[in-house]
Structures are given as structure tokens and as C-alpha cells.
């Protein structure tokens, strides 16, 4: 079941890439396995998934030792500062950096462990009250501070688009984030790249790919409803 659905999502990604004139290798599928039991993750692994996304630190901590070591774990959920020490060194990328204070905490923990941490800044493009993340106009100031952190490296941006019936409604959101990332990228800021655009979920990942996503985070479409 999981394997078939994973295959379906992979196929849809390839087709979206073809439509957009992009190479499928440019897009990484993150299998969002939050709340799902280890055997389902094993099935996705057998189907070829190597990037898994979790929104709780405890779930990464619990699942990681039970699964193959070549899995790349992505922290995609709101991260509390007091949990940062548990995820540094475990997650390959923290997508959900939504405040300067959180970035500072990550720097502190990374320095303590003498390691480097790759992050994305989460952007609340549609300015939804219920969502975390920087507003677009706040992102550049945040970047100009975080760029000087020696152990933290900004690799791009992430957004969670609004929940909509028709994914076309989110096209503008994705377009806006893409254009913003291009503008920042042109500034060639030290210690900052805009190589990663993490956007698109089960309902809208194909539109996100057409608008430039390099990582899509798909849960329900692979593992079923939560
Ligand atoms: C749960 C979650 C997803 C996946 O959502 P689906 O609609 O199930 O694909 C993606 N991104 C984040 C940040 C999530 O919390």
C-alpha cells in the first residue's frame, strides 16, 4: 500500500517536472511520516524513500535508531528552543526556523557540539494568523543576522501554504516565495544560499514543483490519512 502510493507520488513529481521543463533530480521528495509507525516507514524505505520528515523532535529521536542509518531526517515542525539540543546532530535539515531566537539557540547547541547545522527560514507567505514563520518583509533582516552565525547555514526557505480546495489557489504563494528567493540569491550573501525551496504538500505539491519547489513534503499522499 505505502509502496504503491509512494510510487504514484514519485510519478506525479516526474510529470510535474516534465510540465515545468525541470529535471526530476532537482526535486527531493520528503516522506512525512509523523504519527506513523516504524513498519510503514520501512515500507517506504523499501520503496526507495531516503528523506523522511517529522514535526516532533521526540518522533525523530524515537524512530531514528530503529531504521537504516542512511535515512536523512528532516525537522519540519515548529521547534521549541528547549528541544533544540535533541535535534542538532540528528536532523540533516531544520526547515522550520521561524524566529531569530530559535536560530540563536541552534547556533549555541551546534557550537557546543562543534557541528554545523543547515536550516531553512520558514516564511508565512500568506500571513495566516494560525501559522508560524517570518513575514516576507522580515526575512532579509533575519538573514543578515543569521549569516554571521558560524555554525548555522541558511540553505533556503520553507513555507506551508494555506489549506485550500483547489491547489491552483496556492500558485501565487509559491510564485512569491520563489521570486523572493531568486532576489535574495542574487545578493550573494556570505554563508547563505537559496538552493532549497521547501514547499508543497499532498494537496498542492505538483503546483509547487511547477513554481520552483526543490523539496516537497508529502505525508497523507504516501502514508494515508492521520
Ligand atoms: C504534516 C506536514 C506535511 C505533510 O502534510 P500532508 O498534507 O499530509 O502531505 C508537510 N509539511 C509540514 C510542515 C507538516 O507538518
CA 113 distance to own-chain centroid: 23
Q: pLDDT band at 159, cuts 50/70/90?
A: very high
For residue 200 and ligand 1, the question of a CB distance below 6 A is answered with no
Contact at 8 Å (CB) between 140 and 115? no
165-223: pLDDT as tens digits:
999 999 999 999 999 999 999 999 999 999 999 999 999 999 999 999 999 999 999 99
Q: pLDDT band at 29, cuts 50/70/90?
A: very high
For residue 30 and ligand 1, the question of a CB distance below 6 A is answered with no
Q: pLDDT band at 56, cuts 50/70/90?
A: very high
What global pTM score does this model have? 0.98
Burial class (CB in 10 A: 0-12, 13-18, 19+), 78: middle
Closest approach atom of ligand 1 to CA 34: 1
Contact at 8 Å (CB) between 96 and 103? no
Q: Which residue has the cell 502510493?
A: 5
* Alpha-carbon torsion (8, 176, 32, 140), positive or negative: positive
62-77 mean pLDDT: 98
Convert 166-203 into a string of H (helix), E (strand) and C (coil): CHHHHHHHHHHHHHHHHHHHHCCCCCEEEEEEECCCCC
Computed over every residue of the chain, the mean pLDDT equals: 98
CA–centroid distance, residue 181 to ligand 1 (Å): 22
Structure confidence at residue 117 (pLDDT): 98
Beta bridge partners, 154, equal 119, 192
Q: pLDDT band at 32, cuts 50/70/90?
A: very high
For residue 67, give every residue at least 6 positions away whose Cβ sits within 8 Å of its Cβ, in sequence order, or none. Answer: 38, 41, 42, 45, 52
The single-letter DSSP state of residue 51 is: E
Separation between Cα atoms, residue 87 and residue 106, nearest integer Å: 9
For residue 88 and ligand 1, the question of a CB distance below 6 A is answered with no
User: Atom 4 of ligand 1 has which residue's CA nearest to it?
Assistant: 219
| Residue count (the chain) | 226
Structure confidence at residue 216 (pLDDT): 99
Three-state secondary-structure class, residue 66: helix
In the chain, % of residues over pLDDT 90: 100
Q: Which residue has the cell 522550520?
A: 96
Alpha-carbon Rg for the chain, nearest whole angstrom, is 17
73-112: pLDDT as tens digits:
999 999 999 999 999 999 999 999 999 999 999 999 999 9
With the most atoms of ligand 1 within 8 angstroms of its CB, the residue from 32, 51, 224 to mutate is 32
125-145: pLDDT as tens digits:
999 999 999 999 999 999 999
Beta bridge partners, 74, equal 53, 93
Q: Determine which helix (DSSP H) or strand (DSSP E) holds 119, and give its type and residue range.
A: strand 117-122
Structure confidence at residue 7 (pLDDT): 98
Closest approach atom of ligand 1 to CA 223: 8
Longest dimension (CA), the chain: 46
159-168 mean pLDDT: 97
CA 199 distance to own-chain centroid: 7
For residue 142 and ligand 1, the question of a CB distance below 6 A is answered with no
For residue 171, give every residue at least 6 positions away whose Cβ sits within 8 Å of its Cβ, in sequence order, or none. Answer: 207, 210, 211
Amino acid at each position: 500500500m505505502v509502496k504503491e502510493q509512494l510510487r504514484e507520488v514519485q510519478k506525479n513529481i516526474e510529470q510535474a517536472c516534465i510540465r515545468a521543463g525541470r529535471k526530476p533530480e532537482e526535486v527531493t521528495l520528503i516522506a512525512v511520516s509523523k504519527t506513523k509507525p516504524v513498519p510503514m516507514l520501512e515500507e517506504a524505505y523499501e520503496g526507495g524513500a531516503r528523506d523522511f520528515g517529522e514535526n516532533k523532535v521526540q518522533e525523530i529521536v524515537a524512530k531514528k535508531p530503529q531504521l537504516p542509518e542512511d535515512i536523512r531526517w528532516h525537522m519540519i515542525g515548529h521547534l521549541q528552543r528547549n528541544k533544540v539540543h535533541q535535534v542538532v546532530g540528528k536532523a540533516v535539515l531544520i526547515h522550520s526556523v521561524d524566529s531569530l531566537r530559535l536560530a540563536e539557540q541552534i547556533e549555541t547547541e551546534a557550537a557546543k557540539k562543534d557541528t554545523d547545522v543547515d536550516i531553512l527560514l520558514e516564511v508565512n507567505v500568506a500571513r495566516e494568523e494560525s501559522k508560524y514563520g517570518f513575514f516576507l518583509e522580515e526575512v532579509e533582516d533575519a538573514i543578515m543576522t543569521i549569516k554571521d552565525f558560524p555554525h548555522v547555514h541558511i540553505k533556503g526557505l520553507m513555507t506551508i501554504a494555506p489549506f485550500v480546495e483547489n491547489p491552483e489557489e496556492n500558485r501565487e504563494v509559491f510564485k512569491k516565495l520563489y521570486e523572493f528567493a531568486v532576489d535574495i540569491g542574487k545578493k550573494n550573501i556570505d554563508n547563505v544560499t537559496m538552493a532549497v525551496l521547501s514547499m508543497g504538500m499532498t494537496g498542492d505539491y505538483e503546483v509547487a514543483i511547477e513554481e520552483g519547489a526543490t523539496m516537497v513534503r508529502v505525508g497523507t499522499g504516501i502514508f494515508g490519512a492521520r
